[in-house]
Structure 1
């Protein structure tokens, strides 16, 4: 295993290059190499790009800005859900300090600045690395747009301490840059297949574009143009070779499977546990359960916190669907005799080893069922409910629920898609973003749908922390705080 350690003037990069495949690990920096001396050979660029995935993986592993603020979770035997879940946010409580995101963007800007004029003997590799870097930047900016809305747009490489103090750019302008980066990446990827599902690819770029276009259509009122662009991107993605797995139970437990478009790699003793560890109860808390052997538990609290449980509201999405095959692989009701107790999450159960269970499932960033439902949402957005139902049914049938038989008006179909996403993508860090999107689209009212938002006026976007504001006088606080 060849390890490369880089510290630029922007951020510490941690990269690991494998002979068989590239996976994202957390390692300790061993030596320091500045950008001025590092990029001397074309072989220097790929380890740098691999290193930048450390940030992407970290963003994917945070439920704070995704599921924690939704209706999906309640506190378990330990308390982890606090400010975001309670919807009690202010510039001093629960606010975002986005330095990590801008360090990641600075990394990419530096790479793009250095790689563009560099003469590669292997132009295919150069194009691939540029495409991956552009996707990384688009992904990070899309994270920021969904969390804080308007956000500074930094495109230049930072190679010294003179960091520009930029104001917040309009979210619509940031989205234009996201789409420009993605369109360039899509044109640059030399291979339309999936050589490595732990790195950005042609298909992953299309997945991100599909999701971002639906967001832009609803939240930024891009309307039919964006909906149609999402449909086009989704159709191109369908042709890349991904397919639904026959059995839902294999979706989150089988690595880099046929349904996965891109995921973040996790493995015991290499990368630590993922956010799923917060949902695994420890044995002492459930030792009296009569169905103990069916509950994915850990022996020691160091491998599981028992902090998340599935909410009644999310369980009720499955009500009446007696044939839904997803239920056992989504949650289980702890029983003590005939008494029903806690509802533990069974999605992403980790791996049971000889000594203990470890939460080491890959974190799926996009999979085909997600894209099918985004396409259904886009078709509904342009009032083509026939096609919307067609895509909705692709997911319903695999789940064992058969074809949709409800009303076919736009509002009803959109609510059916929203509910289906709640069932299919539970605990995959999608729900809060779905809530915001369907709120702006008029399908739901977030302030009546999310229990902890009822009676509150907390904005749907996050406040900037006082630390961020103090460092840049050109910034203004998120409206509503």
Structure 2
């Protein structure tokens, strides 16, 4: 595995060499370099697709786009917020280069092209599994990208020489159509395998039928509310989620096990990004863990998930007052596993996030929890959202209550007016999924769906007109004159 990872990183490094460097003319195209070590035998494809999952982890571990633009976080001891949190995003400050996304997509395209020449006659299921995962990964990368920048170039062909197509941005609605098409192909390949079972999750760190369906439902919700897909996509989301429910996932009885139990043996998790101590530099939870000297003197030190040094706990974030205020029931069982307020002799101080507490080793705490991408309570709340959008309030409340009951907050007894139920679902997502890198995307959906005004909801957006999608930086335009800037910049 280390050899495979090294080779892929080497290929990626070659593809990232500056265009201004004379040596670039001497570098072989990515596919030529890859062909020297991969795609010689059928056995080369499995490790190659395994390597592509490092990109899924990369994006799952970046909270700039999914969390920092939301209301969830404020500074703690050692603030490291940037323009995403301040919402001061301009073409010269915070503009992004989408290179990493297209590297990931490029690897998918290359694998899909190269595998055509291999029959896998002795084990056709292996080919189907590889194809299914690769299509699901490409769908994941495009879905992640379009939620960040909106319209995006649709590169679907393998780049096998130095002639890279200079594609314009495709409309976001067309990107979502491609996401759904790729997921249809993924599901088709999964279901055509001999001995197929909906309940099979060979690895919670790789796509399976259930997690592909979860992504499909997520994409339907986005298309329904953000891109105008309406009732048809809401209904499709609900139907798709029924398939996820049939995949054998069950809620953890104890909320602490949501992140406290590794995804591999976690009955609630459909898909997660794998982390292991010292393997990938830790997950984003490192920014939320305090360091010991920063909480010295705390009267409840034993309740605070501190690291011994700032290398393993950087003390940058705490839960915001607005997110804490969502927890209106003091008996909510999720509170201890969401945050703990540091108590000093002078009174309460910082409210430290406990969602991803890491694990304690002989030399102290390390932020190495698996990062959850999809889990069952998230799926339940997606279905509640879809039903509420369809004005099927009884079913929306039924699925809302599946989450509330584990939390110990009782059944929902508030207003049954559509917009009020939708707001309660958004609030429940804020409680249940805090710090799971979903909040900004939730806010955009509910803003576009008319439940909230995100420009009044997020404190740092009040009084601003910053677009919901990110601008592209000058490197993108220098490399491709057919690209236009994101609307609003």
User: Shorter chain as normaliser: what TM range?
Assistant: over 0.9
Q: How many residue pairs end up in the alignment? A: 462
State the alpha-carbon separation in 2 of the partners of residues 306 and 7 from structure 1. Answer: 33
Structure 1 residue runs of 5 or longer lacking an equivalent are 14-31
Does the aligned pair in 2 maintain the 1:9–1:159 contact within 8 Å?
no
Structure-1 residue corresponding to 2:145: 144
SS at match of 2:318: strand
Asked whether 1:217 is paired with 2:218, we answer no
**Is 1:46 paired with 2:55?**
no
In the TM superposition, residue 37 of structure 1 has moved relative to its aligned partner by 5.7
Superposition RMSD in Å: 1.5
Provide closer, same or farther for how the CA distance between residues 258 and 444 of structure 1 changes in structure 2, counting only shifts above 3 A. same
Question: What TM-score, normalized by structure 1, do the two folds share?
Answer: 0.94
2:186 matches 1:177: no
Offset, 1:429? 0.1
Q: Distance between the aligned counterparts of 2:401 and 2:439, measured in 1? A: 20
Runs of 4 or more consecutive aligned structure 1 residues displaced over 4 Å after TM superposition: 7-10
Q: Which whole-Å deviations, capped at 9, do the CAs of 1:449-473 have from their partners, x for residues lacking one?
A: 0000000000000001111122111
8 Å CA contact retained: 1:10, 1:158? no
2:459 to 448, 451, 475: 451
| TM-fit CA distance, 1:3 | 3.3
Structure 2 residue 299 is matched with structure 1 residue 290 = yes
With normalisation by structure 2, the TM-score equals: 0.92
Q: State the SS of the aligned residue for 1:258.
A: coil
The answer to whether the aligner puts 1:350 opposite 2:358 as a matched pair is: yes
Q: Tell me, in whole angstroms, the C-alpha distance in 1 between the residues paired with 2:374 and 2:321.
A: 26
Q: In structure 1, how many angstroms separate the alpha carbons of the residues matched to 2:351 and 2:331?
A: 19
Matched residue SS, 1:172: helix
Residues 353 and 2 of structure 1: CA distance in aligned 2, closer, same or farther (over 3 Å): closer
- 2:295 and 2:40 mapped to 1: Cα distance? 57
* More helix by percentage: 2
Distance 2:220 2:82 in 1: 32
CA deviations 1:248-300 (Å, max 9, x no partner) are: 11101101200000001111132321000000111111101111111000111
Corresponding position of 2:319: 310
For each residue in 1:352-399, what CA deviation from the matched residue of structure 2 results, as whole angstroms up to 9, or x when unmatched? 112110000000000000000000000011110110000000000000
**Unaligned stretches of 5+ in structure 2?**
15-31
**Match among 239, 253, 259 for residue 252 of structure 1:** 259
Are the counterparts in 1 of residues 342 and 349 from structure 2 also a CA contact under 8 Å? Answer: yes
Q: Please tell me whether the aligned partners of residues 324 and 400 of structure 1 are also in contact (alpha carbons under 8 angstroms).
A: yes
- CA distance in 1 between partners of 2:85 and 2:102 (Å): 25
Q: How far has the Cα of 1:2 moved from its partner?
A: 6.8
Distance 1:37 1:422 in 2: 46
Gap change, CA 1:7 and 1:331, over 3 Å in 2: closer
Match of 1:238 in 2: 245
CA contact (8 A) 1:9 1:34 kept: no
Equivalence for 2:391: 383
Query: In structure 1, what is the equivalent of residue 62 of structure 2?
Result: 62
Alignment of 1:432-471 (within 5 A): 432-471=440-479
Q: 1:8 to 1:157 in 2, by over 3 A?
A: farther
Local SS of the residue matching 1:365? strand
- Structure 2 distance, partners of 1:294, 1:140, is 38
How far is 1:10 from its partner? Answer: 6.6
Q: How far did residue 435 of structure 1 move?
A: 0.5
Q: How far apart, CA to CA, are the structure 1 residues paired with 2:98 and 2:463? A: 29
Conserved? CA contact 1:175–1:216, under 8 Å:
yes
CA distance in structure 1 between the aligned counterparts of 2:465 and 2:428, rounded to whole angstroms: 27
Q: For residue 337 of structure 1, report the CA deviation from its aligned partner.
A: 2.2
Where does residue 368 of structure 1 map in the other structure? 376
Alignment of 1:379-458 (within 5 A): 379-458=387-466
Counterpart in the other structure of 2:118: 118
**How far 1:119 sits from its partner (Å)?**
1.2
Aligned position for 1:90: 90
- Distance in 1 between the 2:164 and 2:89 partners? 28
Residue 323 of structure 1 aligns to a residue whose secondary structure is coil
Relative to 1, partners in 2 of residues 1:58 and 1:51: Cα closer, same or farther, differing over 3 Å? same
Could you say if the C-alpha distance between residues 51 and 12 of structure 1 is closer, same or farther in structure 2, counting changes exceeding 3 Å? farther
Displacement of 1:36: 5.6
Deviations 1:288-315 (A, max 9, x none): 1111111000111111110010000000
Q: Is 1:472 equivalent to 2:480 in the alignment?
A: yes
2:180/2:216 contact within 8 Å kept: yes
